[in-house]
Copies of this chain bind each other. A is one copy, B any other.
C-alpha cells in the first residue's frame, strides 16, 4: 500500500506528484483554491473558491464543494488527465472526445495533494443482496410457494451450481434461480440450462433413455422481470415469484 501526500506544495512540486500519480494509476485527491471551467455538452464557469478535486485512473474527474451529493463539475470515465503549470497556476485538464468535452481546473494554490494506489476491493463490489435473498428463501420457503422445501444450495450440475434446489408439496424437484433485481431473458436461459441438466441427470439415474422426460420445475425469484423474460418463462412453463432482497414481507 502506497500513499503519497504533500502539504502546501509549490505548483511545480504538485505537478511532479500529479504526473507520478497518473503514471502509477493512483486515485488522487487535491484540496485547493481554484477556478473551474467546463465546455462540452453544455458550458459552465465557476469562480475562485476552495474545492476538492478527485482524479481517478479510469479518467473520471470530480470537483466537489462543501455541499451536495453531486460534484459541481466533473468529467466522465474514459477522459484523459493532463497537468501543467501555466501563468503561475497549476492547471489540471481532463478531456474526452465523442462528445468533445473539456474540464479545466486552475489552482491558485494547492493546500493538500494525496494519491493512493488502489489495490483490492475493486471488483468485489458484491451487492450483498443476492445472499440476503437466498437467506430469506431458506428461512421462509413458503414465500416461493406453499409447501416448498429447500434441499440444497449451490447444488452442482453439469450446467454449473444452481442457487437453490428443493422439492414442492408433491415431491417434484424444483430448481430456484435467484436474482436480486429485475431480470431479462438471460436469467430464464440460465434457469432453463439447470432444469435441462437436472432432467438429464435424473433420466440417466433412472436408466430411462427414450422415456418421458422427468418432471423438474423451474422457478425464477426476482423483484420483477422484463416482458420478454415473462414470455420466455411462460414458454418454458417456469414460474416467477416476485421477491426482492430487502422487502420485509
Q: Give chain A's interface residues, CB within 8 Å of chain B.
A: 1, 3, 5, 7-8, 25, 27, 29, 31, 33, 37, 41-52, 54, 56-58, 60, 62, 64-69, 71-74, 76-77, 109, 111-112, 114, 116-129, 132, 180-181, 245-246
Contact = CB atoms under 8 A, between A and B. Distances in A.
Given A42-B129, A44-B127, A126-B45, A69 B76 contact: yes
Contacts of A67: 56-58, 60, 77, 122
Contacts of A41: 128, 181, 246
Given A3-B31, A112-B116, A125 B66 contact: no
A66 B62 contact: no
Contact of A27 (B33, B48, B64): B64
A23 B124 CA distance: 32
Contacts of A109: 1
A223 to B, nearest CB: 10
Contacts of A66: 25, 27, 56-58, 118, 122
Contacts of A120: 33, 47-50
A43 to B, nearest CB: 5
A57 to B, nearest CB: 5
A48 B121 contact: yes
28 contacts: A3-B8, A5-B114, A27-B65, A33-B120, A33-B121, A41-B181, A42-B126, A42-B180, A42-B246, A43-B128, A43-B132, A43-B245, A45-B127, A45-B128, A47-B124, A50-B116, A50-B119, A51-B118, A51-B121, A52-B54, A56-B67, A57-B67, A58-B66, A62-B69, A65-B122, A68-B77, A73-B124, A114-B114
Nearest to A5: B112
A129 B246 contact: no
A72 B124 CA distance: 8
A51 B118 CA distance: 7
Contacts of A45: 124-128
